[in-house]
Amino acid sequence: MDKQYLKEHFNKLCATNIELIRGEIRGIALYFTGLGHKHYLGNDMAAAPICAENGILYILPYYNCWCWMNKATVNYVDTFIDTAIELYNINPNVPVGLYGGSMGGYNTFHYAIKSKYKIVAADVLCPCCNIEYELYCNENNLFRSYFASALDDTNDFATYARENSPVNMVDKLPKIPYRFAVGLKDTTLVVSQHSDLMIERMLAAGHDVTRMDYPEVAHCNLPHADRIAEHKWLCEKMLEAANG
């Protein structure tokens, strides 16, 4: 990767809240978007101000919108943090928090396991947790995107899908606080096969899990005030880690 080019064009390759931060940067929060998102996401930076108020650098990396946090994407996102640390004179041991919805929730679980950085908290919205169910039981564009994402990472797709399904990776997850925002009217990723199953297995494995149910919310359609509440939780957990 051309790290110098990334450094020189950082603000073209991600969105941040750096202009809103006053004083020391005390943490980095990454926002992982869902399947099909494009560049320059505008209103998806709605939580950037609340993060800035808490001294948290909020980064939305413009990654491949079909990436499914494959190996290349893990390295790519790690390099974004490398670059931010250098550009903004941040402590290399900075706590990192994660937020993501749908595929971004899947990406959150994977990045929490695979990043070289210290992940201290994760907040997921209507996350994709059971990849085998979606691949084999639903006819949608997930299959072609997931297959494309795995091309360079495996020669055994069925095993790859099974081993990389978050519900089968619970024992690999770091023991950090997790929060689930669950839209009970989600018909895209049905709750019983995703959040319900993931939370059940995480609690059985001794993970710290907070669940917030939103009875009127469909897939990732979280109202602004509730989305801000999710990010307040994330900021609180990150600052606890920074002060610890």
pLDDT band at 45; cut points 50, 70, 90: confident
In the chain, count of helices (H) and strands (E)? Answer: 10, 7
pTM score > 0.85 for this model? yes
Structural contact between residues 180 and 156, judged by C-beta atoms closer than 8 angstroms: no
Task: Give the CA count within 13 Å in the CB-facing half-sphere of 233.
Answer: 20
Q: Where are the domains of the chain?
A: 3-243
- Read off the DSSP letter of residue 30: E
- Which CATH architecture fits 3-243? 3-Layer(aba) Sandwich (3.40)
Structural contact between residues 66 and 90, judged by C-beta atoms closer than 8 angstroms: no
pLDDT digits over 81-131, tens only? 999 999 999 999 999 999 999 999 999 999 999 999 999 999 999 999 999
Cross-strand bridge partners of residue 97: 29, 121
Cα 103 from Cα 126, distance rounded (Å): 9
pLDDT digits over 51-90, tens only? 999 999 999 999 988 899 999 999 999 999 999 999 999 9
Cα 142 from Cα 138, distance rounded (Å): 9
Query: Around Cβ 210, how many Cβ atoms within 10 Å?
Result: 13
Q: Is the pLDDT of residue 42 over 70?
A: no
Cα 106 from Cα 35, distance rounded (Å): 10
Cα 124 from Cα 52, distance rounded (Å): 20
Q: Is the pLDDT of residue 139 over 80?
A: no
1 vs 164, more confident: 164
